[in-house]
Amino acid sequence: MLVVFCFFVWLDDGVPDMCFGTAGTAVANLGGLGFANDVIQDAAGGLVVVGSLSNGSDHDGFAVRFFADGTRDMSFGQSGIVLFDGGEGDDYFFGCTQVSGNKLLLVGSDIVPAARRILLMRVDASGQPDPTFGTNGVVTHLLSGLSNSGYEAGELLDGRFYVTGFFSSTHFVARFMPDGSLDTSFNSGSGFNSHQWGDVDYPAGGRLQDDGSIVVCGFASISGTHYVTSSRFLSSGPLDPTYGTAGATQHNWTIDDRTKSMAIDEQGRIVSAGYSYYGGYHVALSRYDADGALEMGFGTAGRAHTTLGTGMFGDDLQIQADGKLIVTGMATTATVYHASVLRFLANGAVDSTFASGGLMLDSPNFYSMTVAVTLQNDGRVVLATFADRTTHFELTLVRLDNTSLTLFQLMDSWAVNLTILDLVAPFVCP
């Protein structure tokens, strides 16, 4: 049985890059079901994917690396993979960031008896644990309560770094020293700060602003309704009283509005992406000015959403240099989940020049979910997902280019078969 990726393209953006992997797709069979939670381009131009992988009894955190042409780097880590198995339960990597010295900082959580801890792991460019970081490259923290998890990290100019995540039903921002220890100069000695909007808060991500402030976006459950939320923390740790209302914002347009990812554009505006329930779920975005006010010129009074289908969920977000917004996630038909990618114009309208009206789906018959997206330095879009190959799951990367194709159909690596109809110009790899 074949898994078929079907793309229908009428204009010149959003098509697979034929010089990447096999006809635009690179795959890796890691031996089990997993989730690709983040993908980045590293300093050498390779692509690093992090997530979680089932070992049959629980999940392990993993990181793998691909070269720029889509071939897997089997020298990375041990036999081509970095694995973290704490031995007590599920371990996850949710985020990855490039830090000083061409090292990679992996962020997630691990389980010990009766508690979930923040998990930080730093490896060098070859995937080997950094001995100057924690113990054998690993640091764990339990900041508050018994359920802690790190989601994203960002490095400061002096080598310290912040982590955003979740504990005790709310989100947090913490700052750490270069060796992984908690920076107790942050927030008057505690090393972390938090803000709770509702009954339960769910952070989606955090980003540094130019002045060193940290903006966190997410969503909160308030009396059964989900609100899109954001907050800003000063570089010293306290909430910024000049942002939103006393340092935070919350908005809702429907009974279920959620943020799953965020970014800050070149003008300093804050963009959050996720989904809302408009009689069915639709990919939705919000844009705020640098101080937390909704930007009225974006979408409709600051909120933009698709009208495609009734089961589309945004999971990850990247902003192109021209201000256009790439959102990846899921589209559903019955009980099947499909990888999807859309592009929005800078004003919040769906970009009809990208793929088929701004939408790409994989096979309508098999499970696949796009979770992560990154932009390479040359502007090409890379998607990372796990896809069901009937007998096993494969980590799959797809790179999109601006090659002019009118219509094509792309098979996966089992078939290694590409059919292109009406190729506008001969395609030559550089």
Question: CA nearest 122: which of 111, 112, 108?
Answer: 108
What's the whole-number mean pLDDT along residues 189-204? 91
Averaged pLDDT for residues 27-39: 72
> What pLDDT does 335 receive?
66
First-last CA distance in the chain: 34
Per-residue pLDDT reduced to its tens digit, 102-123? 999 999 999 988 899 999 999 9
Total-model pTM: 0.86
- Any idea where the domains of the chain sit in the sequence? 215-365
The yes-or-no verdict on residue 19 having pLDDT over 80 is: no
CA dist 98 and 90 (Å) reads 25
Tokens (6 digits) for 208: 């540094």
State which amino acid sits at residue 113.
P
Decide if pLDDT at 100 tops 50.
Answer: yes
Computed over its alpha carbons, how large is the radius of gyration of the chain? 21
Q: How confident is the model at residue 401 (pLDDT cuts 50, 70, 90)?
A: low
Instruction: Give bridge partners of residue 172 from the DSSP assignment.
Output: 165, 194
- The one-letter amino acid code at 226 reads H
The overall longest dimension of the chain from CA atoms, in Å, is 64
Question: Bigger pLDDT: 396 or 130?
Answer: 130
User: What does the alpha-carbon distance between residue 138 and residue 175 come to, in Å, rounded to a whole number?
Assistant: 16
Q: Quick check: 157 and 99 in contact, CB under 8 A?
A: no
pLDDT band at 358, cuts 50/70/90? low
